[in-house]
Structure 1
Amino acid sequence: MLDTELMQEGLALMAFGMGFVFVFLTVLVLSTTLMSLLVRRLAPAPAADAPARAASPAGDGSDNQELMVVISAALHRYRQRHRR
Structure 2
Amino acid sequence: MSASLMQQGFDLMLFGMGTVFVFLTLLVISVTIMSSLIQKFFPEAEPEARPGPAPTTPAQVNDPKLIAIIQAAIEQHRNK
TM-score, with structure 2 as normaliser: 0.64
For these two proteins, the number of residue pairs brought into alignment is 64
Quick one: distance in 2 between partners of 1:57 and 1:18?
58
Give the Å deviation of 1:6.
Answer: 0.3
Q: Which residue of 1 aligns with 2:78?
A: none
Opposite residue 52 of structure 2, the aligned amino acid is R
Q: Deviations over 1:23-64 (max 9, x none)?
A: 0000000011001101110113422431340315645437xx
Q: Identity rate of aligned residues, in percent? A: 41
Task: Note the residue ranges of structure 1 that are not aligned, 5 or more in a row.
Answer: 69-84
Cα RMSD (Å) of the superposition? 2.4
Structure number with higher relative contact order (C-alpha < 8 Å, ≥ 6 residues apart): 2
Opposite residue 61 of structure 1, the aligned amino acid is V
